[in-house]
Amino acid sequence: MFSHPFIKFLGRFYRGNTAAILGSVIIATVIFMSACASVIADNEPNKRVARGHQPPSAELLLGSTRSGKDVFSQVLHGGQISLLVAFSASAITTLIAVAVGISAGYFGGRIDEFLMSLTNVVLVFPQLPLLIILAAFLGQVGPLVIALIIGLSSWAWGARVIRSQTMAIRNKEFILAAEVMGESKWRIIFVEILPNLISIVVGGAMGTCIYALMAEAGLEFLGLGDPTIVTWGTMLFWAQSNSAFVVGAWWDMVVPGAAIAIFGGGLALLNMSIDQISNPKLKTGGYIKTWRRMKVEVEAKRAAL
Amino acid sequence: MVSSNQLMANVADITNEQMGTLEVENLVVDFALDSALFKRQYMRAVNSVSLTIKAGEALAIVGESGSGKSTCARALTRLYKPTDGVLRLNGQDINCPENQISQAHLAKQIQMIFQDPFGSLNPVHTIRHHLYRPIRIHLPRLEGNEIEDYMLATLERVGLSPAKQTADKFPHELSGGQRQRVAIARALTTGAKFILADEPISMLDVSIRLGILNLMTDMKDEGIGFLYITHDIATARYFAERTGVMYVGHMVEWGESDSVTQTPHHPYTQLLISAVPEVGRKRENSISKDHSKSQIPLWKPESKGCPFAGRCPKVSNVCHERMPDVTQVAEDHFVRCFALYK
Ligand SMILES: Nc1ncnc2c1ncn2[C@@H]1O[C@H](COP(=O)(O)OP(=O)(O)OP(=O)(O)O)[C@@H](O)[C@H]1O
Ligand SMILES: [Mg+2]
């Protein structure tokens, strides 16, 4: 019963939407390749398999690092951790943003005042410096802690957006009708309000995902992560500290950089398409198509005369 | 939930006369104005309004925008908390904690229909969902097929057939009139005895208004009591046995619909009726054009006098000092106006 309109919706979403299709394909490919890393790559990511800084070749598709490890295998295995951090940070952020935003917007009054002052405190903290200080303070931190730090520090903006949307929906008559009907508060929040927010929630989650991917790579690149764990960020860190560019081993640096850029780009493409649904001001595609069709019709009429 | 013993105990000391009524006695509703920085300012949206809705009858409330019509209805469904006054369902005070009237119990008896047929159904849910929930909440004994049958029967009853196809649709796939019928069906599924209809037809196309009014008339004949809120005196007279006229939170004239609309005594009612457009003339929703709207006062708890004094052609000094008492001008026709004493 549920899947039927959902599939119809997906069909409408993807039809003629090149950006969304491209974005989804990129995301799916990167996730798939990372997930199947040990099947696709022959070598262990942390095993010395060649001499240092070998250029890409038939055996070593993307060359080797300075310590002779397989870059191809590293980028696939590193993706597992990097993506996991990005997704879990985004999940934490989204959960908190939704919980705080909807509660503040729906209950209003005291609860709203309290939650919003909390949100504002989190919001005014400069995020990146905070991340750096926290990470530096905790010493070299593992991916889990990085995901937690990012997740717990970046929900404030999303919470504000969701709060204002909730307040707009809260006074719609269908919510009043549900209240008059005697629906419980929690059902009203989860069944009546939340589905109406799904596009901004999903859009926000993807935006945070991009941000978390970058933030994680940034922290690790600065040497604040645990360098013994292979991720895209630590790959960049090692390449930089071994002066990969200076000695001409560009692949050591470019490969993890490109991985981040490609995945981030895929997310951005999909996010853009979702934005177009949730933000009616950006919904131009349909109008242009209608206009073209009308133009064709008018010209056909003119030709007939 | 109320235990049946308690319910019986309460029912025992309620007179027969009060069964099948929804009463409002001296209702006052204040809203905080947020402009005040230091001292909280209040506006009085409803001031000492009393009314009674009987099962199988309709009471119309007419009045301009902002006269507190919706606020009355919303106080009756607990969406707004009354500042003062008593609301009684079958003689029981609905806000009295001792009566323990739960929201669910109240909802089973009193339902609302809203003005905007596009805003009153959740765009992400099917029509089935909108009817399924009230059944789940209020008729927990029904199961599986019974729910489906009851739901489809209700859709048929409000004139939405084929019911099965309608149930699977989303609100945006229906017309305004059909949506309003769904809203009525939703109110009916709970088995509500009273329906508060807040301008149910004002946003509908003129051609389908009569259909909805006739549907409501049928329901009224089946014993449901209506509060019919409208700007339109003509439909009030058509649909409702009794009519009340509100101005800035005050009930200024009320009584049997024919009497109130044929022989209006209050200058405000007379103004409203003179503004009803004749056939062929362009229709306006309110009478704002002739008299400047700026004269409509913002009523505060400390305001005194008759709210209409600033606009009234028959105004005298006393009108600015206190609200006139009730005068009975016919068997079922009451007015609050000093001009009647002269
Ligand atoms: N939730 C609220 N908070 C603050 N003020 C309110 C609220 N609801 C209504 N009011 C105010 O109370 C007054 C009466 O409003 P109400 O909606 O009851 O009028 P109405 O007679 O239903 O008007 P309309 O015909 O436009 O629906 C208005 O001045 C309005 O601004
Ligand atoms: Mg209203």
For residue B134, what is the domain's CATH number? 3.40.50.300
Instruction: Mutation target for A interface from B110, B112, B124: give the one with most A CBs within 10 A.
Output: B124
Interface touch B79/A192, C-beta < 8 Å: no
Q: Rounded to whole angstroms, how far apart are CA atoms B99 and B80? A: 19
How high is the pLDDT of residue A238?
87
Nearest neighbour of B134 by CB, restricted to A179, A181, A192? A181
B194 in a structural domain: yes
Interface touch B104/A172, C-beta < 8 Å: no
Q: Work out the burial of residue B295: count CB atoms within 10 Å of its CB; fewer than 13 is exposed, 13-18 middle, 19 or more buried.
A: exposed
Give the single-character DSSP code of A249: -
Is the complex ipTM higher than 0.95? no
Question: Which residues of chain A does B170 touch, with a Cβ-Cβ cutoff of 8 Å?
Answer: 5
Confidence of residue B279 (pLDDT cuts 50, 70, 90): very low
DSSP code per residue over A224-239: -B-TTS--HHHHHHHH
- pLDDT > 90: percent of chain B: 44
Helix (H) or strand (E) run with residue A30 in it: helix A18-35
Q: Rounded to whole angstroms, how far apart are CA atoms A216 and A82? A: 8
Q: Rounded to whole angstroms, how far apart are CA atoms B220 and B213? A: 10
Q: Rounded to whole angstroms, how far apart are CA atoms B97 and B81? A: 14
Nearest neighbour of B79 by CB, restricted to A5, A179, A195? A179
How high is the pLDDT of residue A277?
67
Interface touch B137/A181, C-beta < 8 Å: yes
Q: Please name the residue whose Cα sits nearest to atom 8 of ligand 1.
A: B71
Nearest neighbour of A173 by CB, restricted to B114, B126, B133? B114
Interface touch B108/A195, C-beta < 8 Å: no
Give the single-character DSSP code of A54: P
Q: Are B257 and B238 in contact (CB under 8 A)?
A: no
- Residue B69's alpha-carbon distances to B63, B89, B102, B231, B242, in angstroms, are 7, 19, 24, 10, 15
B21 in a structural domain: yes
Beta carbon of B67 within 6 Å of any ligand 1 atom: yes
Confidence of residue B13 (pLDDT cuts 50, 70, 90): low
**Which residue would you say has higher pLDDT here, B89 or A4?**
B89
Q: Rounded to whole angstroms, how far apart are CA atoms B291 and B309? A: 13
* The two structure tokens encoding residue A229: 């764990």
Give the mean pLDDT of chain B. 85
Nearest neighbour of B107 by CB, restricted to A173, A174, A182? A182
Beta carbon of B69 within 6 Å of any ligand 1 atom: yes
How high is the pLDDT of residue B37?
63
How high is the pLDDT of residue B141?
87
* SS3 of residue B311 by DSSP: coil
Range of the domain at A254: 16-304
B277 in a structural domain: no
> Which residue numbers in chain A have pLDDT < 70?
1-5, 277-294, 305
Helix (H) or strand (E) run with residue B215 in it: helix B206-221
Strands B58-62 and B225-230 come out as parallel
How high is the pLDDT of residue B213?
92
Q: Rounded to whole angstroms, how far apart are CA atoms A229 and A235? A: 9
- Whether the per-residue pLDDT at B142 is higher than 70: the answer is yes
Confidence of residue B49 (pLDDT cuts 50, 70, 90): very high
- Compute the average pLDDT of residues B65-75: 92
* SS3 of residue B328 by DSSP: strand
Confidence of residue B286 (pLDDT cuts 50, 70, 90): very low
How high is the pLDDT of residue B51?
92
End-to-end CA distance of chain B: 54
A37 in a structural domain: yes
Question: Which residues of chain B does A195 touch, with a Cβ-Cβ cutoff of 8 Å?
Answer: 122, 124-125
Question: Which residues of chain B does A174 touch, with a Cβ-Cβ cutoff of 8 Å?
Answer: 119-122
Nearest neighbour of B120 by CB, restricted to A177, A195, A198? A177
- Whether the per-residue pLDDT at B16 is higher than 70: the answer is no
Q: Work out the burial of residue B18: count CB atoms within 10 Å of its CB; fewer than 13 is exposed, 13-18 middle, 19 or more buried.
A: middle
How high is the pLDDT of residue A4?
66
B146 in a structural domain: yes
**Which residue would you say has higher pLDDT here, A134 or B72?**
B72
Give the single-character DSSP code of A47: S
Q: What are A155-170's pLDDT values in tens digits?
A: 999 999 999 999 999 9
B18 in a structural domain: yes
- Whether the per-residue pLDDT at B259 is higher than 90: the answer is yes
Starting from the CA of residue B69, give the closest ligand: 1
Beta carbon of B70 within 6 Å of any ligand 1 atom: yes
Interface touch A181/B108, C-beta < 8 Å: no
Total residue length of chain B: 342
A61 in a structural domain: yes
How high is the pLDDT of residue B180?
92
Interface touch A196/B138, C-beta < 8 Å: no
Q: Are B321 and B330 in contact (CB under 8 A)?
A: no
Residue with tokens 């003129």: B206
Interface touch A181/B190, C-beta < 8 Å: yes
B266 in a structural domain: no
- Residues of A within an 8 Å Cβ radius of B: 5, 172-174, 176-183, 192, 195-196, 198
Letter string b/e over residues B104-140, b meaning 16 or more CB atoms within 10 A of that residue's CB? bbbbbbbbbbbbbbbbbbbebbbbbebbbbbbebbbe
How high is the pLDDT of residue B283?
47
DSSP code per residue over B230-288: ES-HHHHHHH-SEEEEEETTEEEEEEEHHHHHHS--SHHHHHHHHTSPPTTSPP-SSST
pTM score: 0.80
Interface touch A180/B107, C-beta < 8 Å: yes
How high is the pLDDT of residue B287?
47
**Which residue would you say has higher pLDDT here, B311 or A134?**
B311
Beta carbon of B288 within 6 Å of any ligand 1 atom: no
Question: How many domains in chain A?
Answer: 1
Residue A171 sits in a domain whose CATH number is 1.10.3720.10
Q: At A118, give phi and psi (nearest 5°).
A: -60, -45
A3 in a structural domain: no
CB proximity list for B237: less than 8 A, separation 6 or greater: B60, B243, B257, B258, B261
Question: How many domains in chain B?
Answer: 1
How high is the pLDDT of residue A17?
82
Interface touch A182/B124, C-beta < 8 Å: no
Range of the domain at B135: 4-247
CB atoms within 10 A of CB B54: 16
How high is the pLDDT of residue A57?
78
Confidence of residue B106 (pLDDT cuts 50, 70, 90): confident
Q: How many CB pairs under 8 A join A and B?
A: 57
Question: Which residues of chain A does B106 touch, with a Cβ-Cβ cutoff of 8 Å?
Answer: 182
CB atoms within 10 A of CB A130: 14
B229 C-alpha to center of ligand 2: Å? Answer: 8
Q: Please name the residue whose Cα sits nearest to atom 4 of ligand 1.
A: B31
- Compute the average pLDDT of residues B250-259: 94
A283 in a structural domain: yes
B276 C-alpha to center of ligand 2: Å? Answer: 19
Select from B27, B44, B67, B72 the residue to mutate for testing ligand 1; criterion: most ligand atoms less than 8 Å from CB: B67
